Amino acid sequence: MNDKVVEKEKQKITSAKKMRDIMTTYYIDAMSAKENNKLVAWITSGGPVEPLIAMDIIPVYPENHGAMIGSSKMGEDLCMKAEDMGYSNDLCSYARTDISCAIVKGGPIGGLPEPDMLICCNNICGTVLKWYEIQARFFNVPLFIFDTPVCHTEFSPEIAKYVRTQIDEYIAFLEKVTKKSFDHDKMAEVGKISYQGQLLWQKVLNTTANRPSPMTAFDAFFFLALIVTLRGTMIAVDFYKELLLEMKERIKNGISIVPNEKYRLLWDNLPIWYQLKWLSSKFSDHDACLVADTYTSAWCSSLKYIDENDFLNSIAEGYTRIYLNIGVDQMADQVIEMIKFYNIDGFVMHSNRSCKPYSFGQLDIKRIVESKANIPVLMIEADMTDPRAFSQSQVETRIDAFMEIINQGK
């Protein structure tokens, strides 16, 4: 092997293989749930999954599936199939791909295992309500809606009471569907494990504050899958312990992910799944490392509200006050905090045609960040899964010009 190849091998994150194996096993388990007399629940990415784990129900995430469809560049075809069915191209591309995939059994894994129930939490968006209603009708299964009002400024006592009541309703729903009684001791245990997993995920993300960064946000987009799908299990805890160790080791040995890290960037919104490789090398060519993002930290950003010893009571607040369910001023505050913590030189915002709650308000956040943090902000228009909303040469010119501006200011 020549030096360049050796150098490249050294830069690779070795935990990636293990993570792929875990995800494969997870999907095989989910696919063979029926044979093993297990129930499958489809749940939104920000939904309270822990009670499902405590009831031994396998949670499956259409949004994680959407990310897989996007990464394997199968989004356009599945979006078009949904449009053929009459759905508007303005509808979220995760919703479009999931709706058409349920019928044609397409995508990289031939569709998701059929659900026995659906759990829909609207802390991430309003689209999920109609999307899950459509799927509940299609699969003819019960649907539970966990309604989390937007916390523009505060988590009022009214919101607290309203959301807390739904946790009991949620448990009653699960007892009815499974015909089993809820085990509170097991729930307490799962709660602790979930808390521990989120804490470890936060620690992994924090390692990129080191200069040079041991991983990029592009890696975080990949490693995120476990905290989403296996939150509340020891699999996630054990894996993130290992990943954290690997990151610490890389820092100790001075191994950076971008060979000559010169600029540190922050990413906003979902990834552009079908362009990760191109974007990653584009930024790397400019010696820029996307060290952090507002997306992957959403699965640990409300940890401060959660009490691991009083899990069920505290998740009402934890699940309500996530990044997408708070006011624009609070979002901007979090972004500015991240800019300071990670020592950021520039902020890249993906205006995502699919994700309305994430993209609406971005111009305000952009203005606040420009004036308070005094760093350049770039806005690129695209879509997380539908490549028809992405124009490479337009985005390339914007990124190049943005990096030239950052370079000028250095």
Judged by the rule CB under 8 A, the positions of this chain that interact with other proteins are 363, 370, 376, 379, 381, 389, 391, 393-394, 397-398, 400-401, 404-405, 408-409
Spatial distance between the Cα atoms of 287 and 375, rounded to a whole number of angstroms: 17
CB 52 within 8 A of CB 39: no
Q: Do 39 and 119 contact (CB within 8 A), yes or no?
A: no
Cβ 317 to other proteins shortest distance, Å: 37
Minimum distance between the CB of residue 403 and other proteins, rounded to whole angstroms? 9
* Cα 75 to Cα 66: distance, rounded to the nearest angstrom: 8
Q: What's the closest the beta carbon of residue 346 comes to other proteins, in angstroms?
A: 12
Could you tell me the smallest distance in angstroms from the CB atom of residue 397 to other proteins?
5
Query: What is the smallest separation between the CB atom of 394 and other proteins, expressed in angstroms?
Result: 6
Return the structure tokens found at 295: 């997306």
Closest to other proteins by CB, 75 vs 318, is: 75
**Closer residue to other proteins, CB minimum distance, 111 or 361:** 361
Comparing CB distances to other proteins, the nearer of 156 and 391 is 391
CA distance 59 to 286: 40
What letter does residue 151 receive in the DSSP assignment?
B
Shorter beta-carbon distance to other proteins: residue 155 or 278: 278
Three-class SS state of 295: coil
In angstroms, the CA 78 to CA 93 distance is: 9
C-beta of 234 vs 405, nearer to other proteins: 405
Q: Which is nearer to other proteins, 202 or 407 (CB)?
A: 407
Tell me the closest approach of the beta carbon of residue 391 to other proteins, in angstroms: 4
Judged by beta carbon, residue 321 or residue 366, the one nearer other proteins is 366
Distance of closest approach, residue 347 Cβ to other proteins, in angstroms: 12
Backbone angles phi, psi at 58, to 5 degrees: -85, 115
Q: Which candidate, 326, 386, 382, 373, places its Cα nearest to that of 346? A: 373
Residue 401 C-beta: closest distance to other proteins, Å: 4
> Contact, 326 vs 151, CB < 8 A?
yes
Burial label, 257 (beta-carbon count in 10 A; 0-12, 13-18, 19+): buried
> Token pair for residue 308?
């691991």
**Shortest distance, CB of residue 389 to other proteins, whole angstroms?**
8
Q: How far apart (Å, rounded) are the C-alpha atoms in residues 272 and 358? A: 14
Residue 408 CB partners (closer than 8 Å, separation 6+): none
Indicate the residue among 187 and 332 with the shorter CB distance to other proteins: 332
Q: Which is nearer to other proteins, 240 or 274 (CB)?
A: 274
Q: Which is nearer to other proteins, 231 or 366 (CB)?
A: 366
Q: Rounded to the nearest whole angstrom, what is the least distance from the CB of residue 361 to other proteins in the complex?
A: 15
Q: List the strands of the sheet with 40-43, edge to edge.
A: 58-60, 40-43, 117-121, 143-146
> Token pair of 287, please?
């010696």
For 334, phi and psi rounded to 5 degrees? -65, -40
Contact between residue 342 and residue 266 where contact means Cβ atoms under 8 Å apart: yes
CA dihedral (190, 192, 195, 196) in degrees, to 10, reads -110
In eight-state DSSP terms, residue 42 is E
